[in-house]
Amino acid sequence: MDKKNTIKKITNTEYPILDTIKNRWSPRAFSDTPIKEETVKTLLEAGRWAPSASNLQPWRVIWGIKGTETYDRIFNCLDEFNQSWAGSAQVLWLNVFKKTMGKDNRENFHALHDLGLFMGNVLMQAESMGIAAHQMAGIRFKDANKEFKFNDDYHVATGVAFGYYGGDVSKLPEGLREQELKETRIRNAQSEFAFNGDYKK
């Protein structure tokens, strides 16, 4: 079997959806094709136009291209597991959100939701450009807050690894190779999470 991530994932949808949604997946092995700064700015621009509560746009992003100091600083904030594979990414970034709003610094309950909308735009833009993205919860967020000089009003929420599809799976840790090569993507059925009426367990 070809060890390059060139397989097309099988996505058995219940209803027709956009190809950018259907074809997107989150590899851990990326092509060694560089990502240019202009491309990063295009991804950020897509995120910039995401909706947010009261148009507060509470997201902040730290990004770095492979071979730069910022990339290395982000990499060093990932947990050990994510460091075991994320080094093949051509761009790493951290997603951060501002926790409060208004002059009275009340909690922005929707900030994390809005960051998710931001990333939804980014993911769809990336997919349209042939770029894969793998989001990571496994970061040392307190270290990242300190490293990038965020005060307590900000929370480093997630990391993201970006790269073009086509990575060498054989370079992944052994335990991740089989998972990477699985062809069928699986999601819960709509009936398990969507209800036209009362919620039913």
In order along its 201 residues, the chain shows pLDDT tens digits of 344 456 679 999 999 999 999 999 999 999 999 999 999 999 999 999 999 999 999 999 999 999 999 999 999 999 999 999 999 999 999 999 999 999 999 999 999 999 999 999 999 999 999 999 999 999 999 999 999 999 999 999 999 999 999 999 999 998 899 889 999 999 999 999 999 999 988
Contact between 180 and 5 (Cβ < 8 Å): yes
Question: Class of the 21-168 domain?
Answer: alpha beta
Three-point CA angle 137, 138, 143, nearest 5° = 110
The Cα–Cα gap between 78 and 137 comes to: 9
Would you say the pTM of this structure is higher than 0.85?
yes
